């Protein structure tokens, strides 16, 4: 049974696109067939995060306007044979697509894929309405900052009003050292405020940026963030995976790393 999931946040720059790419890679690593759809028309960036920017021929608007068939626009990932990207159009704007067209497109993708993941643009305008209209399930990405949490709360309200039943949260960019010092909200603090189901928390690690620099995911890498994203993918697929205790995990990894350095 395939699922259409929207990844959204309200606020920009909290890690929607990076999360979409990593969740997609995680699910593909579990041998699922996954398509990631960049629904930010006019500002494409999921292709760059995935390192597929040079392979784009057709885009989402081409498919919707019937200039090509869906399969012609799909780009296969470099690492995972089951992972595909449907890129967004660079030269068009949000008004090129209607919610009805997006629903039809998502329906046709569910014939081919186990997971259709929609990377939603920031904001709550047309692009948000398009992406959320087609989804049965939502993943809200936030960071432990007042502004991002406030927007996440607004988004959760809009998703609920839009009839999306299953809403999960990812708390991104947790800095464990700062949480320990009391200079950053903890995952628990964020959950206290937003009161939605937690899908996972991602530590703020250099590896995430470095991987994105190369157009790669952190899945399969020896990092806490890679492990956290993999666990999120497994939870999406319905597995019960205990949450990583970031505080102890970070010190443990530290110890392991320093052991190796000594040699």
Partner 1 sequence: MRRRQDSYGRTSGKIAKARAELTIASDRIDCSQDETEQMRREIADILSKYMNLDRELFEIRIEIIGRTKRGARDVKTIQIK
Binding site for partner 1 (CB under 8 A): 144-146, 149-150, 153-154, 157, 160-161, 178-179, 181-186, 189, 192-193, 195
Torsion of CA 22, 25, 30, 31, to 10 degrees: 160
Q: Which of 175, 211, 155 is nearest to 22 (CA)?
A: 211
Give least dist CB 158 to partner 1, A. 10
Cα 233 to the chain's mean position, in Å?
10
Give least dist CB 129 to partner 1, A. 15
Give least dist CB 181 to partner 1, A. 7
Please state, in angstroms and as integers, the Cα–Cα distance from residue 61 to each residue in 42, 70, 111, 136, following that order.
10, 10, 19, 22
Residues 38/97, Cβ–Cβ less than 8 Å: no
Pairing between β-strand 75-76 and β-strand 83-86 as defined by DSSP bridges:
antiparallel
Give 73's Cβ-side CA count (13 Å radius). Answer: 23
Residue 92 or 175 having the CB closest to partner 1: 175
* Rounded distance between C-alpha atoms, residue 188 and residue 185, angstroms: 8
Give least dist CB 184 to partner 1, A. 5
Residue 33 or 175 having the CB closest to partner 1: 175
Residue 93 or 188 having the CB closest to partner 1: 188
Give least dist CB 150 to partner 1, A. 5
Residue 156 or 208 having the CB closest to partner 1: 156
Please state, in angstroms and as integers, the Cα–Cα distance from residue 229 to each residue in 134, 174, 179, 234, following that order.
24, 13, 20, 9
Give least dist CB 128 to partner 1, A. 17
Backbone angles phi, psi at 171, to 5 degrees: -100, 115
Residue 149 or 211 having the CB closest to partner 1: 149
Residue 153 or 247 having the CB closest to partner 1: 153
């Amino acid at each position: 049974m395939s699922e259409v999931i929207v990844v959204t946040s309200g606020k920009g720059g909290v890690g929607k696109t990076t999360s979409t790419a990593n969740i997609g890679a995680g699910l593909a690593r579990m041998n699922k067939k996954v398509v990631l759809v960049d629904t930010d028309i006019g500002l494409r960036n999921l292709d760059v995060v995935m390192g597929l920017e040079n392979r784009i021929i057709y885009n989402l608007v081409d498919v919707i306007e019937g200039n090509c068939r869906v399969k012609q626009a799909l780009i296969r990932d470099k690492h995972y044979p089951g992972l595909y990207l449907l890129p967004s159009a660079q030269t068009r704007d949000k008004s090129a697509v209607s919610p009805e067209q997006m629903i039809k497109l998502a329906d046709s993708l569910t014939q081919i894929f186990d997971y259709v993941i929609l990377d939603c643009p920031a904001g709550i305008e047309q692009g948000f309405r398009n992406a959320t209209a087609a989804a049965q399930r939502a993943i809200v990405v936030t960071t432990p900052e007042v502004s991002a949490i406030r927007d996440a709360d607004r988004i959760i309200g809009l998703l609920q009003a839009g009839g999306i039943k299953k809403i999960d949260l990812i708390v991104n960019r947790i800095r464990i050292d700062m949480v320990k010092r009391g200079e950053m909200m903890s995952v628990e603090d964020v959950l206290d405020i937003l009161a939605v189901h937690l899908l996972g928390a991602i530590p703020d690690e250099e590896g995430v940026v470095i991987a994105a620099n190369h157009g790669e995911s952190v899945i399969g890498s020896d990092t806490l963030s890679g492990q956290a994203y993999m666990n999120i993918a497994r939870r999406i697929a319905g597995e019960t995976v205990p949450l990583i205790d970031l505080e102890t995990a970070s010190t443990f990894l530290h110890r392991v790393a320093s052991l190796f350095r000594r040699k």
